Amino acid sequence: MTGFEPPAEFDVEGMVARFRERAKAVRSRGVPPLEGADRRRFIERMQIDYQDFAMLGDATGSLEDGVLVLRVDLRPAAEPTG
């Protein structure tokens, strides 16, 4: 274990909201003046960061017996019937 102890009143929803904010920040971040391979790597990193932050920002979180549980539904959205 890491030895980290969360505060007694750990705010799971606040943590998830911060990931949503991080996803928005990555999405609106500009690309610095890079060229070639450096530019490609920067953009790839931005895409991965956005994916990770957005996924955690969509999570439903809870504390269960002191364990942080994040549930992320990765199933495709249901097709509308009609």
Is position 59 within any domain? yes
Q: Give pLDDT, residue 82.
A: 67
**Cβ-based burial of 23 (10 A; exposed 0-12, middle 13-18, buried ≥19):** buried
Is position 1 within any domain? no
Is position 76 within any domain? no
Is position 28 within any domain? yes
Is position 52 within any domain? yes
Q: Give pLDDT, residue 79.
A: 76
Is position 4 within any domain? no
Question: Which has more confidence, 66 or 71?
Answer: 71
DSSP state for residue 23 in the 8-state scheme: H
Is position 7 within any domain? no
Is position 29 within any domain? yes
CA atoms within 13 A on the CB side of 71: 7
Question: Which has more confidence, 4 or 76?
Answer: 76
pLDDT at 70 over 80: yes
Domain span at residue 34 reads 12-71
Residue type, 25: A
In this predicted model, what pLDDT tens digit does every residue of 13-62 receive, in sequence order?
999 999 999 999 999 989 889 999 999 999 999 999 999 999 999 999 99
How is residue 2 written in tokens? 């890491």
Q: How many domains are contained in the chain?
A: 1
